[in-house]
Structure 1
């Protein structure tokens, strides 16, 4: 498997990252519930969970009746995900692959590819999108979420409390990558990458995708009751979801 900065950074994460990810309020109370809702009814679908991490989405999708392939560049995450799937008696196929080199995974195999909070981490975005295009069935869809590039980045700062937060953008166009830990209690840094909205959309179009939906999810009052820290997301979005369709006859050679 080819090495790149994205894969190298994530390979150093371990049990500590998994424990923090599974206790992070934004992930557990907002993104984890919202993503399957955005995907809709997946019964009978073939789904690739690309950049699966600890495999939480894969397990939920398999439990909902999908046939799931779970892929990550970290062998540690894949071993953990496979063990958890076995414990829960879920039939999920697991692979250690870079997102831009899905060798051994056949073309036109999936109704959906899920990229939850991972496209912003890819060193080779267009290579990843070409591989997604290759493995999607004609008319299949990519569901991708990222940290909202307008409101999160190296030169973007938040101030205020959970309900009256303000965001200051000092430079939207130029910060490209930087190193920082994923969580404040984790010492191991990973590489963060900033891409503008036009960077993403131009890459999608170049690889043959049609943008069929874009959503900036807003938390419900019930979610805010569980985690008051979500309250400010009713005013300023932190996450961005795309639904992208593989054009029939598309080959990702754009």
Structure 2
């Protein structure tokens, strides 16, 4: 619980600037790569009861609702939920939001959802097995979970780009893959004007290996049905040439789909 309180505080502190940046289009990785890849992997959700783990300020949550789902969003950050609710109040799409953990009993009934979705959030929570257990509890038999995270094999604390003699990016250095010690990363959206005086976000990280992710899913009783490592589209790489590093050299994104068995 102490770790979750710390995570909530960080995201409460980040929430106002994060919301402004996301809604101003500065999160180009989300807009041009990670969320389109998620939607490509997402089965039809029209008419389904869907819960979004780590919904943040609600941009992606609203996209799910506009696909025809009945959506609930949960997040530890009360400030993020305030931002999400403010848009829902102004432009209702039927989303219910709750300030709660996705890694513990969230107060919603057992077997009340057809799908659990989570976009780039589970790597920022301290209890992945708890999250998978809660997903299993909330899913109806036959329901599914689809989540995306930073790829654990390539996004490590020792990440660095290698250059050739002409200064072109030629390789990716990873290090500390098995170092699971928690750390707090300071960063801001790279698409921002470089001379703009904006404090960096402070984001707690909980490094895990590929086996940590997959075993947490399986140990909860969920059955893995698909794993994907999407590459940025050619159009995205043309618009943002730095994306080509994640097309040609290493994987940025991991997507995992699993189902709750019918029996």
Which shows bigger deviation, 103-112 or 4-13?
4-13
**Cα distance per residue 1:121-149 (max 9 Å; x no partner):** 11111111111110011111111111011
Matches within 5 A, 1:163-242: 164-183=169-188, 185-235=198-248, 236-242=250-256
SS in 2 for 1:13: helix
Structure-2 residue corresponding to 1:116 = 119
Task: String of CA shifts for 1:130-177, please: whole Å, max 9, x gaps.
Answer: 111100111111111110111112122224499735211222112421
Distance 1:165 1:108, change over 3 A: farther
Tell me if the contact between 1:158 and 1:166 (Cα under 8 Å) persists in the aligned partners: yes
- CA positional deviation for 1:57: 1.4
What is aligned with 2:93? 90
User: Given the alignment of the two structures, is residue 150 of structure 1 paired with residue 153 of structure 2, yes or no?
Assistant: yes
Structure 2 residue 72 is matched with structure 1 residue 69: yes
d(CA) in 2 for partners of 1:37, 1:116: 13
Matches of 2:31 and 2:123 in 1, distance apart? 20
Q: Could you state the TM-score of these two structures normalised by the residue count of structure 2?
A: 0.87
Report deviation, 1:50: 0.9
The alpha carbon displacement at 1:182 in A equals 4.1
Could you tell me whether the CA contact under 8 Å between 2:188 and 2:201 is conserved in 1? no
Asked if 1:14 corresponds to 2:27, the answer is no
Give the number of equivalent residue pairs: 249
- The CA RMSD over aligned residues, in Å, is 2.1
> Is 1:141 aligned to 2:144, yes or no?
yes
- Note if contact 1:133-1:246 (Cα within 8 Å) is conserved in structure 2: yes
**Structure 1: gaps of 5 or more residues:** 250-254
TM-score using structure 1 length: 0.90
SS at match of 1:144: strand
For residues 5 and 213 of structure 1, do their structure 2 counterparts lie closer, same or farther at Cα, with a shift above 3 Å needed?
Answer: same
Deviations 1:176-215 (A, max 9, x none): 2111124265434221111001111111111111110000
Partner of 2:261: 247
Q: Residue 44 and residue 150 in structure 1: after superposition, are their counterparts in 2 closer, same or farther (change >3 A)?
A: same
Match of 1:33 among 36, 48, 69: 36
| Structure 2: runs of 5+ lacking an equivalent | 190-197
